[in-house]
Amino acid sequence: MNKSLIQWSSEEFSDLPWRSNRTLYRTLVSEIMLQQTTVSTVLNHFERFVSEYPSPKHVALASEEQLTISWKGLGYYRRARNLKKACEYFCKNFNGEIPLDYNLLIDAPGIGEYTANALLAIGADKKALALDANLERVLSRLYGFKMQKGPKLLKHLKSKFEKGEIAKEIDELGARKLNESLMDLGRNWCKANKAACDICPLFSGCMAAKSGSPLEIPQRPPKSGAKSFNLTLLRLICFKDDLVYVYKKRENEWLSGQYEIPTFVLSSEDQTLTQYPSIKFFEHDLLPEYKTLITKYKITNKVMIVNEVEMRQLNIDVSQFELRRPDSKSNLSTATLKALKIFT
């Protein structure tokens, strides 16, 4: 690893908002947002979120519903709940400050090994290695570790780092710059399915590049053969005055804590699905529809606008639902907002 890598990273990505105006809290928010979400998506939401919640205390005091609404557009809402749990922990135990101790960080609910190391290395520039998927891939290729991607490889990299056998330049280059530049490299040039070795600043010392087969490192785990299922849902829009009937998703359901319009299964290839009740409704071919994906399900959403009388004719008890404003401020799920948009 060399200074040309650091220089490239600084020139290209120093204007990212969580880097240009850096605090431990902003690092925490950015790291949680960036989990399973692209930089371009996070850029659309980061500044708005930290303006609305400028400190751990603001997150801790917010209701889960408020936080979910503010998280809209980022997906994986469990991360918002994890952020709230972590901030509540910091407020209760450290007066709203984020401790710079790995063992204290890892004790916080919602903070895993990666996030703890990211707060130390990136947030505080302390000697640590934040092993995300990018660092796992880049370091495996750089040092030629022909192991299968996953927990054993991560443990191996951690052990090598603690023994001073990899990333030796961390003291010279700085933990923050080293971690961020390797992440940038993995995200942009040293990708899982494409390695731009000809322009990589680490090319001369990269074992995988010298092998001529960089994409074979790290080894990919065998395909699980996980099956995807087609699922057709019926989503019913029922207004009363200017409000719409919805229900709150439970903890063990998709999009828990958010509100959805009455939703039913018309057909499912997965006979074990319990997320929604089934309904017999035969004349749905001509209904407007939109497509969504969630976990292993490819969903066709059929949408129909009904009144209370028609709900009862379908044997649906409207008293089990509540009335909310049909907009994003009411913590409605993205799927519900899409359905409403069809008729507005």
Rounded Cα–Cα distance for residues 22 and 249 (Å): 36
Catalytically annotated residues: 31
Question: Which distant-in-sequence residues (6+ apart) come within 8 Å of 179 by Cβ?
Answer: 118, 121, 122, 128, 129, 130, 135
Report whether 269 contacts 252 (CB < 8 A). no
Nearest to 128 by CA among 182, 174, 181: 174
Q: Which alpha helices (H) appear in the chain, and where do they start and end?
A: 3-13, 17-20, 24-34, 39-43, 46-52, 56-61, 64-70, 78-94, 102-106, 113-118, 124, 133-143, 151-162, 170-173, 175-188, 207-211, 308-313, 334-342
